[in-house]
């Protein structure tokens, strides 16, 4: 999109890919709720649970925040501690403080699970969540402590992960019964997200209309996509998933460095030299840019994980 100076009318394929990828963080919150609920009873007490989770997340978060704050994005309006609190040392870190909030409150949600999933309480929480999402996207973003604001817009997707974890056989039965309908619904939801973001951005030129991941349409998209992926990957490709999962946290932290450098030294000169991209070139530009960035990040993650204990520091 930067290559086209944000003239979205000329790069609709790119805009579609961008909007179809808006599922990432909400889906991560859903998976977190699923996994925490799956494993919580294996911890002897709250502090053992919290130490394991905080230790696994917080140490790499501090390390990479320092890398970005002091070496990559060195112009700041806040001190390092504030950047940690807000996840602002680099732009992909913003949701880690929210994840830590979910980790802290999860045991309470676990204890209140029966109360929360009472049909009337659950319905009320859902209505409140939908209103918050609608208001945040269509009216005005909430002026809350940023990580808490994100948590308020994702609590139901997190709880849905918990519910799915406790009812896996029921969920799988529903997915298998309605498999084709879920796939078509997922595609339709992705198109809806794309149309909504593109249309509202062109109308308002407010970049949050494109980049916001907190929308009712995206919540629907995430639920459908999660169902499709879970049905497809359940007990399949386990070895590949485990290998990629082991590297994924490192990749999440490091990929922005590769993205910046690949853009600056390879793709920006290419675009500049050609005076922009033709419609035909857009077909290979996005997947090639993504592929180079992703494979570089995965390659470094694979090497880093060969160093004993290094992953404890880097993720």
Low-confidence stretches of the chain (pLDDT < 70) are: 273-282
Amino acid 179: pLDDT: 95
Give residue 277's pLDDT: 63
pLDDT at residue 148, rounded to an integer:
93
> What does the alpha-carbon distance between residue 235 and residue 239 come to, in Å, rounded to a whole number?
10
| DSSP-assigned letter for residue 172 | H
Give this prediction's pTM. Answer: 0.92
Looking at the chain, list the stretches that DSSP marks H as alpha helix, in order from N- to C-terminal side.
12-20, 24-39, 46-67, 80-86, 96-111, 113-116, 119-138, 146-152, 155-166, 168-177, 179-204, 208-211, 216-233, 238-262, 268-274, 279-304, 310-314
Domain ranges of the chain: 15-235, 237-315
CA pair distance 209, 78, nearest whole angstrom: 26
Question: What's the pLDDT score for residue 19?
Answer: 96
Q: What Å distances lie between residue 61 and 99, 246, 301, 315, CA to CA?
A: 11, 16, 16, 8
């Amino acid at each position: 999109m930067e290559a086209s100076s944000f003239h979205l009318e000329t790069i609709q394929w790119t805009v579609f890919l961008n909007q179809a990828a808006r599922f990432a963080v909400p889906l991560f919150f859903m998976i977190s709720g699923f996994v925490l609920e799956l494993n919580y009873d294996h911890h002897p007490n709250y502090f053992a649970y919290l130490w394991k989770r905080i230790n696994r997340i917080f140490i790499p978060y501090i390390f990479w925040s320092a890398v970005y704050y002091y070496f990559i994005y060195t112009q700041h309006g806040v001190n390092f501690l504030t950047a940690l609190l807000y996840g602002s040392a680099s732009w992909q870190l913003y949701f880690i403080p929210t994840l830590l909030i979910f980790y802290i409150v999860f045991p309470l949600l676990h204890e209140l699970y029966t109360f929360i999933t009472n049909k009337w309480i659950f319905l009320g929480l859902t209505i409140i969540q939908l209103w918050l999402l609608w208001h945040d996207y269509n009216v005005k973003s909430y002026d809350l402590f940023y990580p808490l604001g994100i948590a308020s817009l994702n609590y139901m997707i997190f709880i849905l992960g918990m519910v799915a974890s406790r009812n896996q056989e029921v969920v799988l039965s529903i997915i298998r019964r309605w498999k084709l309908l879920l796939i078509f619904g997922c595609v339709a939801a992705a198109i809806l997200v794309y149309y909504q973001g593109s249309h509202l951005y062109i109308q308002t030129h407010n970049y949050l209309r494109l980049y916001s991941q907190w929308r009712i349409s995206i919540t629907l998209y995430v639920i459908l996509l999660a169902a499709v992926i879970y049905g497809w990957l359940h007990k399949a490709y386990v070895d590949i998933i485990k290998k990629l999962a082991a590297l994924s946290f490192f990749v999440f932290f490091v990929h922005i460095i590769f993205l910046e450098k690949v853009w600056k030294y390879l793709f920006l000169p290419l675009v500049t030299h050609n005076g922009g991209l033709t419609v035909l070139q857009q077909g290979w530009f996005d997947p090639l840019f993504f592929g180079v960035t992703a494979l570089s990040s995965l390659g470094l993650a694979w090497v880093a994980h060969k160093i004993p204990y290094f992953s404890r520091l880097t993720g």
